[in-house]
Structure 1
Amino acid sequence: MRAPSYTAVWTFRSLSLPEWDSKGRALCSVHIVLDWDGTLTVKDTMALLGGLPRARDLRLYNQRLHRPESEPPSHLRGEAEVNSIVDLTPPASVNLWDGFVAAYMEDYRAHKALHYPVTPKESPREERASPDQYSRWLESLKVVEYASAERVTRSRFFRGVRTEDVANVARDALDSGALQLREDWNCLFDMSVSQAGDQQAPLISKISIISVNWSECFIRWSLYLAAERLTNISPASKAALLGRIDNMKISSNEIHGLDSPQGSSGKLTGNVRTAREKAERLPEFSNQSEAAAAKQQHREAAFVVYVGDSGTDYECFRGADLPIWISDQGEEENRRVRRFEAVFRPLNTGNESGGFKSCHLKEWAELTDRGDGDWCAWADDLKEVADWLKSVS
């Protein structure tokens, strides 16, 4: 299959910071958009979804143990139970999931052999692709991503899974440490909620998530349960945070039918699986033409800050007013540079024309000699992002 003839159309609408009034209020709304895996979380969480069949089986097993002698007719019981899915053993679930991962990697390697935009070299520094080449490479991976989702759908791996199973998996993962949100993850969320007695509007007008994860439900439950466990905030602040999580916009994929009495059909739904599809979910007025429309209607376009960590965030970086890459590398500059090149390989990350370069978030406002390349700011963690926003307000 030939790579799609896609040319990136996302460009920076503005490289300047929003203006603030004398009382510290932004003269235009500030919208924070976050990636999920590796940005809000310490590491990828997709593997945790492989435990959903086990959670479903345990739930159905417990229901069977406590069912009264006079059972309801089969049409009133869950489809998964009626079809004896409870006999599925945990090892079978694990083996199926491992098979999905292996098949995905096989597809990826075969696709890369045909579509990689440059000839692979021994040294990453020798692999150079232009921004347009890199965008086409990322979009060409669409066939791999959708094949993986279709493979899982056909297997009916998630058949019978319900919302409560998703919540239980998230809860267990938080208990065990398999799911870890970044330290001080709630700092940005707190800045989007009006504090008690504060007459000013919150610094961040809106906060949302865009993710290629397979389950929006899993993301929301993970945040909600993590927020419930916070002990360093007041009850009022926690209630406000929980309300924000409950109502925030999360653009992701989903496991179909989690709220059905019979549980999921097993189908994976949604079309947020590539870098371009993520960028298409950026907030309203996130590109130049829409900003112009807002100006004509005498409205201020939102200042969009996008925070991400991986190559799938690249198009969102190009479409945001302020792109922030979570480097997670402490003070080791050389290590950070090497990781930046590895994450966006084979994109040209040098100083050549058209490169994609980074600077520390604290230096962003003073960055005047940008040349004709794309830039993104970097920060070590989310607290650094929150502290910086406070400092410029």
Structure 2
Amino acid sequence: MPRPFLRAFNTDHAIHWILDWDGTLTTQDTLDTLVNIPKETKNDPSIPKKWAHVIEAYLDDMNSTLTTLGHLPSTVPEERKLLGRLRDVEERSVTRVSDSGIFAGLREEDLCAGGVSAIVDKTIQLRKGAALFIEYIFNRTMKQETDIDAFQILSVNWSQCFIATALEASVDFKFQRPTLDHFQEQQNEKYALLKNEIPSASHEKLKLDIYANEIDSISTAGTSQGRLCSPGTHKIISSSDKLSYLRGLQKLNPNTLQLNPIVYIGDSWTDLECLLAADLGICIRDEPPTSSQRKLEDSLQRLSIPCQHILDDGPPDEWDIVWARDFTEIRNWLRSNESSAFIRKIPGV
């Protein structure tokens, strides 16, 4: 059934924003920057060679797996099966990273310092308009009462700590790094609402949660084995993992007891299932597109899924997927769909 989000959705009401990190909020992938932290911290000249081996093995594994297919899918169910198979490739790569010992002995303070330094020296740069977009969403919540926007980052990156400190160095907000208990609280809130109990958390303003993986035992100095661990029910290393978390994070509106509509923003093939599942999927695209953006674009074309520019006029299609160059365009789209009365109530607008 068509979902006419762009035409009929009331942006004056609560929106659940879920954003990818690497290449979406940032201008490029940040894994090389993350790997540079143990290199500098431990003064270990062997780490670049170990990392190069991990990358080479991953690319060989990925190419080999894709070659065995013969042809790429042309339907969404087949595409999802392919992405499910590729999870094994990601899992093997994570194992190689763990076995390499690149992150062994790393501490939380090392990751925090590395995240801040990467922003200061501009190794990591937020995409155009990202900081103002986050501020705009926060200001939206200032006029909302029980019907409040949610904002979460959902990433296959290997460190919540690294992402949080990099963002905090860029924008004036504190970011939470949820645990399994925090993830369970999301579910408990839904059950409470269904029983007509409004939990106090429903009245809180915007909470910026980061769902990503983490290096084990970094809070205990020197004891980390450098292995990837989970922020919740399972590691986030694939498209299907992201989709599982997205479904678990869906929020009930306390007024309607309906799920708040999700806007998912991503840039790569790993984001495909979340983009399809969201009420509105927004693909970030550079001009020319990066290799990861090109893979996503190719997938949409193979599946015959239209993807118009977010500011273009036109009838919505079945999937409601659009593309944007940056967060300035997304913010402009949001403002153009909000009523003038709503905008006047947003601080600073």
Question: Do these two structures clear the TM 0.5 threshold for a shared fold by scoring above it?
Answer: yes
Normalised by the length of structure 2, the TM-score is 0.77
**Using the alignment, how far apart are the partners of 1:148 and 1:260 within structure 2?**
25
Q: Are residue 272 (structure 1) and residue 244 (structure 2) matched?
A: no
Q: CA deviation at 1:341?
A: 8.7
Work out the CA distance in 1 between the residues paired with 2:320 and 2:295. Answer: 15
Separation of aligned partners in 2, 1:12 and 1:282? 21
Question: Once the two structures are superposed, what CA deviation does each residue of 1:154-183 show, in whole Å capped at 9, x if it has no partner?
Answer: 232211101111122222322332211112
Which of 162, 174, 185 is matched with 1:242 structurally? Answer: 174
Q: Give 3-state SS (helix, strand or coil) of 1:276's partner.
A: helix
- Equivalent residue for 1:262, pick from 219, 222, 231: 222
The question of whether the paired residues in 2 share the 8 Å contact of 1:285 and 1:302 is answered with: no
Correspondence for 1:42 = 27
SS at match of 1:362: coil
User: What does residue 308 of structure 2 align with?
Assistant: 359
Aligned to 1:332: none
Structure 2 match to 1:135: 80
Shift in CA distance, 149/129, structure 1 to aligned 2, threshold 3 Å? same
User: Matches of residues 258-337 of structure 1 in structure 2 within 5 Å?
Assistant: 258-270=218-230, 271-282=235-246, 298-329=256-287
Instruction: Mark the runs of 5 or more structure 2 residues left unpaired by the alignment.
Output: 179-206, 339-349
Distance in 1, matches of 2:331 and 2:146, equals 13
Runs of at least 4 residues off by over 4 Å: 11-14, 198-204, 243-247, 283-286, 338-341
Inter-CA distance 328–260: structure 2 relative to 1 (3 Å threshold)? same
- CA–CA distance in structure 1, aligned partners of residues 80 and 100 of structure 2: 31
Alignment of 1:42-191 (within 5 A): 42-57=27-42, 89-115=43-69, 117-118=71-72, 129-191=74-136
1:311 touches 1:343 (CA, 8 Å); kept in 2? yes
Structure 2: distance between partners of 1:367 and 1:51: 46
The alignment partner of 1:91 has SS state of: coil
Return the offset for 1:222: 0.9
**Bigger Cα Rg:** 1
User: Which residue of structure 2 lines up, in the alignment, with residue 3 of structure 1?
Assistant: none
**Change in 2 beyond 3 A, CA 1:269/1:184:** same
Alpha-carbon distance in 2 for matches of 1:306, 1:348 = 16
Percent identical residues: 26
Q: Helix, strand or coil for the counterpart of 1:90? A: coil
Query: TM-score with structure 1 length normalisation?
Result: 0.69
Aligned equivalents of 1:204, 1:191: Cα separation in 2: 13
Aligned equivalents of 2:156, 2:249: Cα separation in 1: 22
Asked if 1:253 corresponds to 2:213, the answer is: yes
Give the CA deviation at 1:263. Answer: 4.1
The 1:342/1:55 distance shift into structure 2, 3 A limit, reads closer
Q: Which runs of 5+ in 1 are unaligned?
A: 1-10, 58-88, 119-127, 228-237, 330-334
CA distance in 2, matches of 1:280, 1:195: 28
Q: 1:149 to 1:187 in 2, by over 3 A?
A: same
**Structure 2 CA distance for aligned equivalents of residues 321 and 195 of structure 1:** 19
For these two proteins, the number of residue pairs brought into alignment is 305
Q: Measured at CA, do residues 380 and 30 of structure 1 come closer, stay the same or move farther in structure 2, by a change above 3 Å?
A: same
- State which of 355, 377, 392 in structure 1 corresponds to 2:322: 377
Contact 1:282 1:316 in 2 (8 A): yes
Conserved 8 A contact 1:216-1:252:
yes
Change (3 A) 1:46 1:200: same
1:342 equivalent in alignment to 2:299: no
- Determine the C-alpha separation between the residues in 2 that align with 1:386 and 1:204: 17
Q: Aligned with 1:99: secondary structure?
A: helix
Task: State how far apart, in whole Å, the 1-side matches of 2:310 and 2:140 are.
Answer: 26
Task: Give 3-state SS (helix, strand or coil) of 1:32's partner.
Answer: strand
Aligned to 2:174, the other structure's residue is in SS state helix
CA positional deviation for 1:300? 3.2
Does the 8 Å CA contact 2:281/2:322 hold for their aligned counterparts? yes
Deviation at 1:278, TM superposition (A): 0.6
Judged with a 3 Å threshold, the aligned counterparts in structure 2 of structure 1 residues 100 and 339 are, in CA distance, closer, same or farther, namely: closer
Give the counterpart letter for 2:308 in structure 1.
C
Tell me the distance in 2 between the aligned counterparts of 1:157 and 1:341.
Answer: 28
Equivalent residue of 1:192, what SS? helix
Which residue pairs with 2:184 in the alignment?
A: none
- Which residue of structure 2 aligns with residue 7 of structure 1? none
Structure 2 CA distance for partners of 1:244 and 1:200, relative to 1, 3 Å:
farther
- Determine if contact 1:129/1:348 at 8 Å carries over to the other structure: no
Partner Cα separation in structure 2 for residue 384 and residue 244 of structure 1: 27
Deviations 1:53-110 (A, max 9, x none): 23432xxxxxxxxxxxxxxxxxxxxxxxxxxxxxxx5321111111111111121122
